[in-house]
Amino acid sequence: MKTIYILWLRQLKRYIRSKSRIVGSLAQPLLFLLALGYGLGPVFQKAGQGNYIEFLAPGIIGMSIIFTSIFYGLEIIWDRQFGFLKETLVAPVSRFNIMIGRTLGGATVATVQGVIVFFISMLIGFRPVSFVMIPFAVLFMLLVAILFSAIGITIASLLDDMQGFQLIMNFLVMPLFFLSGAIFPLQNVPGVIEKIAMFDPLSYGIDAFRQLLVSISHFGLMTDLVVLAAVTLFFLSLGSYFFSKVQI
């Protein structure tokens, strides 16, 4: 327990100390909210879909969570490069606990980012339908963050150096985000896109945020929960398996 805690604490400290990274990682969601929200809002409204900021904000919260949690999961590659990974791997702590500590650390940071983006979106006009549901939305944010941290760690366990990093950002994270229904409704899209979105776990996360914050849902909250929980368990197991095989 204590070892998980100290691993978690380390990632939080690193997060709090990286001021420039925090600012940078909030600039992007803000840009999306402003440009898409105000730029496409009128079109969205005309098409009879209602208020676009309301629709978009949960999607952008999802975006900041997936970016942050995958990034912190991939931090293992940095630790390997700068040598710190050895220090944890040689300690008498099971790899499973190390994996859990790191996952929770990255997930906590990502959830904090998600909550900050939530407040930013309130500043530019987003209004949740009910404040009672906000704690539940935060719990879902944590679940999504755990899921993508675990995916980040799974991938990082298989990579030797940073060269793969850009590849992952471009060919995994970007598509997961853009095809998740974060910025457009899944109701009226061509069948192919809807099919793809169905296999994108982020779709279910964002769907849950929407249900809880603005009462719009495509899959239904129960489906969201079951899918997210199952995929999270799957990647936690896969991640601990690959992480247990890591050699220096």
Partner 1 sequence: MDVIKVENLTKKFDDFAAVDHISFDVAEGEIFAFLGPNGAGKSTTIKMLTTLLAPSEGSIELNGYNPINDSNAVRRSIGIIFQDPSLDDELTAFENMEFHGVLYGIPKKVRRERIKQLMEFVELWDRKNSLVKEFSGGMKRRLEIARGLLHHPKVLFLDEPTLGLDPQTRNHMWSYLQELNKAKRTTVFFTTHYMEEADRVAKRIAIIDHGKIIASGSSAELKAQTKTESLEDAFLALTGKVIREEEGSNLDRMRMFRKARGK
| Residue closer to partner 1 (CB basis): 23 or 248 | 248
Quick one: 125 or 164, whose CB is closer to partner 1? 164
Q: Which of 19, 23, 48, 90 binds partner 1 (CB under 8 A)?
A: 90
Spatial neighbors of 201 by CB under 8 A, at least 6 apart, are 144, 147, 176, 227, 228, 231
Cβ atoms of 25 and 113 closer than 8 Å: yes
Does 132 bind partner 1 (CB under 8 A)? Our answer is no
* d(C-alpha 56, C-alpha 53), whole Å: 5
Stretch that binds partner 1, among 1-9, 26-34, 44-52, 186-194 (CB under 8 A): 1-9
Nearer to partner 1, 19 or 46 (CB): 19
**Residues contacting 220, CB < 8 A, separation 6+:** 211
Within 8 A by CB and 6+ apart from 15, the residues are: 21, 22, 72, 109, 112
The residue among 93 and 186 lying less far from partner 1, judged by its C-beta, is 93
Binding mask 219-248 for partner 1 (x = CB under 8 A): ----------------------------xx
For 223, counting Cβ atoms within 10 Å of its Cβ (0-12 exposed, 13-18 middle, 19+ buried), the class is middle
The reply to whether 12 sits near partner 1 by the rule CB under 8 A is no
Applying CB under 8 A, which residues contact partner 1?
Answer: 2-3, 5-6, 10, 13-14, 17-18, 82-84, 86-94, 247-248
